Structure 1
Amino acid sequence: MCGRYASARKRQELLEEFEVGVDGTSQELAADYNVAPTKKVYAVLTRPEVPDGEKEGKGGQAAQPVRQLRVLKWGLVPSWAKDPSVGSRMINARVETLTEKPSFRKAFAQRRCLLPADGYYEWYRADKKTKQPYFIHPEDGGVMAMAGLYEFWKDRARADDDPLKWLVTCTVITRSAEDHLGRIHDRMPVVIHKDRWSDWLDPAHTDTGEMLGMLADSPPSGLVAYPVSSEVNSVRNNGPHLLERDDSDETALF
Structure 2
Amino acid sequence: MCGRFAVTLPPDAMAQLFEAAPSNDLPEVPNYNVCPTNQIHVVMEDAGRRLVSMRWGFLPHWYKAPNGGPLLINARAETIAEKPAFKAACRERRCLIPCTGFYEWTKDENGNRLPWYIHPSQDSALVFAGVWQDWERDGQAFRTCAVVTCAANQAMSKIHHRMPVVLAPDNWAKWLGEEGRGAATLMTPAPEDALSFYRVDPAVNSNRAKGAELIAPL
Q: What TM-score, normalized to structure 2?
A: 0.93
In structure 1, how many angstroms separate the alpha carbons of the residues matched to 2:203 and 2:163? 21
Deviation of the 1:10 alpha carbon: 1.0
Deviation of the 1:214 alpha carbon: 2.9
Deviation of the 1:216 alpha carbon: 3.6
Q: Deviations over 1:9-40 (max 9, x none)?
A: 111010111111x2224245231101100001
Structure 2 residue runs of 5 or longer lacking an equivalent are none
Aligned to 1:10: 10
Q: What TM-score, normalized to structure 1?
A: 0.80
In structure 2, how many angstroms separate the alpha carbons of the residues matched to 1:202 and 1:10? 26
Structure 1 residue runs of 5 or longer lacking an equivalent are 48-64, 159-164, 247-254
Summarize the Cα distance change of 1:25–1:86 in structure 2 as closer, same or farther, 3 Å threshold.
farther
Give the structure with higher Rg (CA).
Answer: 1
In structure 2, how many angstroms separate the alpha carbons of the residues matched to 1:134 and 1:104? 29
Aligned to 2:113, which of 125, 131, 145?
A: 131
Secondary structure of 2:214's match?
Answer: helix
Q: What are the within-5 Å matches in structure 2 for residues 48-63 of structure 1?
A: none
- Is 1:84 matched with 2:66? yes
Secondary structure of 2:67's match?
Answer: helix
Q: What are the within-5 Å matches in structure 2 for residues 234-249 of structure 1?
A: 234-246=206-218
Aligned to 1:116, which of 91, 98, 101?
A: 98
> For the aligned residues, what is the CA RMSD?
1.9
In structure 2, what residue type is equivalent to 1:238? K
The question of whether the paired residues in 1 share the 8 Å contact of 2:57 and 2:145 is answered with: yes
Aligned to 1:104, which of 86, 89, 98?
A: 86
Aligned to 1:61: none
Summarize the Cα distance change of 1:86–1:25 in structure 2 as closer, same or farther, 3 Å threshold.
farther
4+ residue runs of structure 1 moved beyond 4 angstroms? 217-221
Q: Deviations over 1:41-61 (max 9, x none)?
A: 0000112xxxxxxxxxxxxxx
Aligned to 1:56: none
124-133 vs 173-182, which moves further: 124-133
Secondary structure of 1:15's match?
Answer: helix
Deviation of the 1:88 alpha carbon: 6.0
Q: What are the within-5 Å matches in structure 2 for residues 1-254 of structure 1?
A: 1-20=1-20, 22-47=21-46, 65-86=47-68, 89-155=71-137, 157-158=138-139, 165-202=140-177, 205=180, 210-216=182-188, 219-220=191-192, 222-246=194-218
